[in-house]
């Protein structure tokens, strides 16, 4: 009899453990956030935000992660933004953002709306990092490395080989504090402030695609590679600074 009960319950148990439908996941040995996200079919950044994870998004064995899942609502006769928000317990402004609806938030009969998941705040969020997590701003080979000496001579950053039109990405999230042609050797230059005295600089750009005061995220495009300034070929000059002192970027960048 016990075996028959277990066999009858097996489909339900499999559904509960199905990574594509589960709303919680306990991290197992050898798992990464990327692998969990791939199996759950939910973007890693969404899972990270729901669980208070900060870059580089490390997870630990036994950690319980909430997996936020979206639902879909088809607008019916008599539906309003208020009634839909009440039904799912999600502010309609969140629904509007998820569906690209702008004020005055007009919805149409038969329209399919994504209902974003709203989860409780994580009980034990990770403490914020005092040091940013830096990523490579370009995929090209490093032509010239860091060799700055105490007397100020040498090279103060990394020079990447690039092609005209290549995207240059923010190495870490922060605020744009400089975005214009430099009076020195870098030509079109972007400087991003990452807080706590950390800054990055991106020189020789063909075109700047951000403006002063913009808030950018890690990996977001901030310019197009070029040879502006004193560059002799198309390249990206990249620097990391701490309290206005230049440090070797390779000491802060992950292994390729």
CB 165 within 8 A of CB 140: no
Helix axes 81-88, 92-99, angle to 10 degrees: 100
**Separation of alpha carbons 243 and 50, rounded Å:** 32
**Does pTM top 0.75 for this prediction?**
no
Which residues neighbour 35 within 8 Å (Cβ) at sequence distance 6 or greater?
none
Full pLDDT tens readout for the chain, 256 residues: 545 444 444 444 434 456 677 778 899 988 888 888 888 887 777 787 777 777 777 888 888 888 877 678 899 998 888 888 888 777 888 788 777 788 778 888 999 887 776 655 544 455 556 789 999 999 999 999 999 888 878 999 999 999 989 999 999 999 999 999 988 889 999 999 999 999 999 999 999 999 999 999 999 999 999 999 999 999 999 999 999 999 999 999 998 7
pLDDT of residue 188: 96
pLDDT of residue 192: 96
pLDDT of residue 90: 77
pLDDT of residue 119: 54
Considering Cα of 95, then 100, then 105, then 106, what sign does the dihedral take?
negative
Q: Kindly list the distances between the CA atom of residue 158 and the CA atoms of 99, 177, 214, 224, in Å, as whole numbers in the listed order.
A: 41, 21, 24, 17
Question: Would residue 150 be called left, alpha or beta, if left means φ above 0 and alpha means ψ between -120 and 50 degrees?
Answer: alpha
pLDDT of residue 10: 43
Helix (H) or strand (E) holding 142: strand 142-144
Which domains are present in the chain? 17-66 (3.10.350.10), 73-115 (3.10.350.10), 142-251 (2.70.70.10)
Token representation of residue 59: 């997870």
CB 201 within 8 A of CB 215: no
């Amino acid at each position: 009899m016990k075996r028959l009960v277990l066999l009858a319950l097996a489909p339900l148990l499999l559904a509960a453990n199905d990574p594509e439908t589960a709303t919680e996941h306990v991290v197992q040995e050898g798992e990464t956030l990327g692998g969990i996200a791939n199996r759950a079919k939910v973007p890693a950044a969404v899972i990270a935000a729901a669980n208070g994870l900060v870059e580089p998004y490390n997870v630990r064995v036994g950690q319980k992660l909430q997996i936020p899942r979206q639902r879909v609502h088809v607008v019916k006769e008599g539906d309003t933004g208020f009634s839909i928000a009440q039904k799912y317990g999600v502010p309609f402004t969140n629904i509007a953002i998820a569906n690209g609806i702008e004020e005055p938030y007009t919805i149409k009969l038969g329209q399919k709306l994504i209902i974003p998941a709203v989860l409780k705040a994580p009980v034990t969020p990770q403490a914020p990092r005092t040091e940013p997590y830096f990523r490579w701003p370009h995929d090209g080979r490093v032509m010239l490395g860091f060799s700055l000496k105490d007397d100020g001579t040498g090279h103060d950053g990394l020079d990447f080989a690039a092609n005209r039109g290549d995207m240059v990405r923010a190495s870490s999230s922060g605020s744009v504090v400089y975005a214009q042609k430099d009076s020195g050797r870098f030509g079109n230059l972007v400087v991003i402030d990452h807080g706590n005295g950390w800054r990055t600089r991106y020189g020789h750009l063909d075109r700047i695609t951000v403006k002063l005061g913009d808030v950018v995220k890690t990996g977001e495009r901030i310019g197009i590679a070029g040879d502006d300034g004193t560059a002799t070929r198309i390249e990206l000059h990249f620097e990391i600074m701490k309290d206005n002192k230049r440090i070797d970027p390779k000491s802060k960048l992950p292994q390729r």
